[in-house]
A and B are shown apart, each in its own frame.
Chain A
């Protein structure tokens, strides 16, 4: 356990450690690295899109390649960047916030990560193997079912594998939060970030299986000759739209709710106040989660479901503005009269409020079904969802990273660079997307690779592209900040922000067993309570005793690799059945590993009391 051993080990040993780890903190770091990589990739695709649109009838990319760019930009940003970055924060923080030593299923936690990573790699292999998917991130049938080549096959298989990983992760957090809370940590004492992680996990559990089915049906249609979406066989392509959005709408709440949680914790910490209206915040989170399942057809207003269906879904959609409004006001009231400290984490949170409110307002506009016929598939929609996803989720991730970076890595991110990142990104973001509302209203359709000169679109698109470069600069400065901080950043103590919740009661970064003794929680903001009563840390709920820890395992990596191999087999067997051998090899690896996991007892190990005492004396 000693640090000198950890620092001196070889690169190979460190690699093996990460490949086999089941420690939620290390898995969180892996999610961060992988998600960050895909965020840069998706950002690169975005820059190519904006460069193509910088002037009328540009020929920077071809129409076909443009379709691949928009498809992969959307798919990458949602599934491979935003989701894993959210999971990075959840892994890094949730067990600490509830006073747990680990998650409920450490093995599954690792499996979830590797499935996501291999799914993402499989999807991106398409770039080098004849072309990426090109049917949009929504992959509407029959465009997607007749798209030539293997691009959409990679979409289907890649998302299927990474989606399975996400579902596993969701179940893991649900059980962790229900079963592993420290004594006294009742539901209504959980920090808001943990609450939002809880509701997000519920949404994952009930939303992802619909995507699983949709992807299976599309896979069967494309690769095995079924006729679900093929009208000539009696199929119905609207089924795909339903299944996709039954998943897809809750998905946006899956992304935004944890960001809401981050902001709640950040506002409360840096205002030195208890979160205003905690109970209402919890209630609003649950309500948003519930309503999130009732509104999927607002993506389909123009399909022709009829006025009754459109009205119901329009009203349900508008209803979501109510709990969201409750949240916005509670954040403002948390700030009200607080002892406010503005640093990078807080800047992102403050920037979020007006940005997200704008996105929410256009959301209500889009919810008006009859008006939506005008907005549909125009840049107005593009502007709207970038306002909520960038202005909400990405701001939330940046805020959370600044806030919890000391806890994750033991160093504080550089404040000056952090502020430069915020201002360039914030200004760039509004430059890029605000004007797109008007481009959309003036009739610029979504997903077109060129536009004509002198249609009133030239200047707006130029502004938008300039803005995108500001965002790119912001992202690069953040990367530079990460590098500089890891080299010579200021070392963080256990509680650099004068925090309120349990994660700040243990060292930064925490030991791998998190809590030497499980803390006793006596109310909301447990650490704050102890500090305000003059104690230095938490009161333990148990005497010092042996700690039971799970064993690491390479099996999650092997299982995901098996599915990755099988994925190629499924795709290429449509040309030559000999490729089915890869399916058998890959599935054999997967099922064989599952069998080993089932048959071989994995009892974990104990860290002995004496060693803990030795550690404490150092």
Chain B
């Protein structure tokens, strides 16, 4: 049996992302990677918490932050997590077209989130002169939120690359794990945002 037949079985298994050893390895390895990412963000959160009142005479967080825009951003990102679940649901049912559709919606929501974030940063910098270099608080804020934003950018590029690469050939046991771990990554980004929303913005306006 050639590699092609092994990866394109007549009946797709229910968990195509874990049907091969390579898939199982990717699945587990990515969970471990997310464990490491958790420590990375925990370190950034710790740094932020230590420095969030070190405004160096500049504006404090309760003068800067408004919850309206952040609420919209949260909605975009939470919804995108849901749509990526739909995409994975269709992957398990071997419905490639619907998976692509829901991934497309996920990406669109991700871009909407990113646009809001860029506007937010632009606003802070130009309206309030609150920058990366204005205080330790500024450095910590832009680093924490920026690391998250960087993850969003990377996630979007990743999902788009997978969508375009596999657009013509559909789902098989080689690319199913790739889609699956990309969606795991997307969920992780979403979870981190929940913490940013709480620790940075909610605690910031109080």
Interchain Cβ contacts under 8 Å between A and B, 12 examples: A167-B36, A174-B32, A209-B40, A213-B44, A220-B132, A220-B143, A227-B56, A228-B136, A233-B139, A599-B165, A603-B7, A603-B174
Complex CA–CA separation, A601 to B56 (angstroms)? 52
Given known contacts A179-B24, A233-B136, A239-B51, what 6 new A-B pairs fall within 8 Å (CB)?
A: A167-B36, A174-B32, A209-B40, A235-B136, A239-B47, A239-B50
Q: Which residues of A contact B140 (CB under 8 A)?
A: 228
Question: Does any Cβ of A come within 8 Å of B135's Cβ?
Answer: yes
Q: Which residues of A contact B138 (CB under 8 A)?
A: 226-227
Do the beta carbons of A598 and B161 come within 8 Å of each other?
yes
Mark out the residues of chain A between 212 and 235 whose CB falls within 8 Å of any chain B CB in the assembled complex. Answer: 212-214, 216-217, 220-221, 224-228, 230, 233-235
Looking across the interface, which residue of chain A has its beta carbon closest to that of B182? A598
Q: Which residues of B contact A598 (CB under 8 A)?
A: 158, 161-162, 165, 178
Over the window 33-46 of chain B, the binary record of Cβ atoms lying under 8 Å from chain A Cβ atoms (1 yes, 0 no) is: 10111011001101
Over the window 415-432 of chain A, the binary record of Cβ atoms lying under 8 Å from chain B Cβ atoms (1 yes, 0 no) is: 000000000000000000
Question: Does any Cβ of A come within 8 Å of B133's Cβ?
Answer: yes
Q: Return the contact of A175 from the options B25, B47, B161 (Cβ within 8 A).
A: B25
Complex CA–CA separation, A217 to B55 (angstroms)? 17
Complex CA–CA separation, A206 to B40 (angstroms)? 9
Over the window 195-208 of chain A, the binary record of Cβ atoms lying under 8 Å from chain B Cβ atoms (1 yes, 0 no) is: 00000000001111
Q: Which residues of A contact B74 (CB under 8 A)?
A: none
Looking across the interface, which residue of chain A has its beta carbon closest to that of B7? A603
- Which of A's residues lie within 8 Å of B, judged by CB? 104-105, 167, 171-172, 174-175, 178-180, 205-210, 212-214, 216-217, 220-221, 224-228, 230, 233-236, 239, 242-243, 246, 595, 598-599, 601, 603-604
Do the beta carbons of B51 and A228 come within 8 Å of each other?
yes
Complex CA–CA separation, A338 to B178 (angstroms)? 51
Do the beta carbons of A601 and B44 come within 8 Å of each other?
no
Do the beta carbons of B50 and A206 come within 8 Å of each other?
no
- Which of B's residues lie within 8 Å of A, judged by CB? 3, 7, 21, 24-25, 28-29, 32-33, 35-37, 39-40, 43-44, 46-47, 50-51, 54-56, 132-140, 143, 158, 161-162, 165, 174, 178
Do the beta carbons of B132 and A225 come within 8 Å of each other?
yes
Do the beta carbons of A236 and B51 come within 8 Å of each other?
yes
Complex CA–CA separation, A236 to B52 (angstroms)? 11
Do the beta carbons of A235 and B54 come within 8 Å of each other?
yes
Do the beta carbons of A225 and B25 come within 8 Å of each other?
no
Complex CA–CA separation, A601 to B158 (angstroms)? 15
Do the beta carbons of B135 and A233 come within 8 Å of each other?
yes
Complex CA–CA separation, A180 to B29 (angstroms)? 12
Instruction: Known A172-B29, A213-B44; judge A233-B56 contact (CB<8 A).
Output: yes
Q: Which residues of B contact A227 (CB under 8 A)?
A: 56, 133, 135-136, 138-139
Complex CA–CA separation, A167 to B55 (angstroms)? 34
Do the beta carbons of B47 and A595 come within 8 Å of each other?
no
Q: Which residues of B contact A180 (CB under 8 A)?
A: 21, 25
Do the beta carbons of B40 and A220 come within 8 Å of each other?
no
Complex CA–CA separation, A464 to B87 (angstroms)? 66
Give A146 Cβ to nearest chain B Cβ, in Å: 16
Do the beta carbons of B139 and A235 come within 8 Å of each other?
yes
Do the beta carbons of A208 and B36 come within 8 Å of each other?
yes
Do the beta carbons of B143 and A178 come within 8 Å of each other?
no
Complex CA–CA separation, A368 to B202 (angstroms)? 41
Do the beta carbons of A171 and B33 come within 8 Å of each other?
yes
Q: Which residues of A contact B28 (CB under 8 A)?
A: 104, 174-175, 178-179
Q: Return the contact of B39 from the options A210, A226, A234, A235 (Cβ within 8 A).
A: A210
Give B69 Cβ to nearest chain A Cβ, in Å: 24
Q: Which residues of A contact B7 (CB under 8 A)?
A: 603
Q: Which residues of B contact A246 (CB under 8 A)?
A: 43
Interface majority SS (helix, strand, loop, mixed), chain A = helix
Looking across the interface, which residue of chain B has its beta carbon closest to that of A240? B47
Q: Which residues of B contact A225 (CB under 8 A)?
A: 132-133
Q: Which residues of B contact A235 (CB under 8 A)?
A: 51, 54, 136, 139
Looking across the interface, which residue of chain B has its beta carbon closest to that of A231? B136
Looking across the interface, which residue of chain A has its beta carbon closest to that of B55? A234
Q: Which residues of B contact A230 (CB under 8 A)?
A: 136
Complex CA–CA separation, A225 to B132 (angstroms)? 8
Q: Return the contact of B25 from the options A179, A210, A221 (Cβ within 8 A).
A: A179
Complex CA–CA separation, A262 to B105 (angstroms)? 52
Give A126 Cβ to nearest chain B Cβ, in Å: 25
Q: Which residues of B contact A601 (CB under 8 A)?
A: 174
Q: Which residues of A contact B139 (CB under 8 A)?
A: 217, 220-221, 226-228, 233, 235
Do the beta carbons of B47 and A213 come within 8 Å of each other?
yes
Complex CA–CA separation, A50 to B175 (angstroms)? 57
Q: Which residues of A contact B165 (CB under 8 A)?
A: 598-599
Do the beta carbons of A205 and B143 come within 8 Å of each other?
no
Give A511 Cβ to nearest chain B Cβ, in Å: 20
Q: Which residues of B contact A221 (CB under 8 A)?
A: 139
Give A586 Cβ to nearest chain B Cβ, in Å: 17
Give B48 Cβ to nearest chain A Cβ, in Å: 10
Q: Which residues of B contact A178 (CB under 8 A)?
A: 28
Give B132 Cβ to nearest chain A Cβ, in Å: 6
Do the beta carbons of A209 and B32 come within 8 Å of each other?
no
Complex CA–CA separation, A235 to B46 (angstroms)? 13
Complex CA–CA separation, A234 to B133 (angstroms)? 11
Complex CA–CA separation, A236 to B47 (angstroms)? 9
Give B9 Cβ to nearest chain A Cβ, in Å: 15
Do the beta carbons of B32 and A205 come within 8 Å of each other?
yes
Give B136 Cβ to nearest chain A Cβ, in Å: 4
Minimum-distance CB pairs A-B, first 3:
A234-B54, A226-B139, A209-B40
Complex CA–CA separation, A364 to B194 (angstroms)? 42
Do the beta carbons of A236 and B174 come within 8 Å of each other?
no
Looking across the interface, which residue of chain B has its beta carbon closest to that of A214? B43
Looking across the interface, which residue of chain B has its beta carbon closest to that of A172? B29
Give A547 Cβ to nearest chain B Cβ, in Å: 13
Do the beta carbons of A224 and B132 come within 8 Å of each other?
yes
Complex CA–CA separation, A593 to B28 (angstroms)? 24
Do the beta carbons of B36 and A171 come within 8 Å of each other?
yes
Instruction: Known A234-B55, A236-B51, A246-B43; judge A171-B132 contact (CB<8 A).
Output: no
Complex CA–CA separation, A214 to B44 (angstroms)? 9
Q: Which residues of B contact A226 (CB under 8 A)?
A: 132-133, 136, 138-139, 143
Q: Which residues of A contact B36 (CB under 8 A)?
A: 167, 171, 205-206, 208-209
Do the beta carbons of B137 and A234 come within 8 Å of each other?
yes
Give B153 Cβ to nearest chain A Cβ, in Å: 11
Looking across the interface, which residue of chain A has its beta carbon closest to that of B132? A226
Give B143 Cβ to nearest chain A Cβ, in Å: 7
Give B77 Cβ to nearest chain A Cβ, in Å: 22
Give B115 Cβ to nearest chain A Cβ, in Å: 22
> Which of A104, A175, A212 has the most chain B CB atoms closer than 10 A to its own CB?
A175
Give A303 Cβ to nearest chain B Cβ, in Å: 14
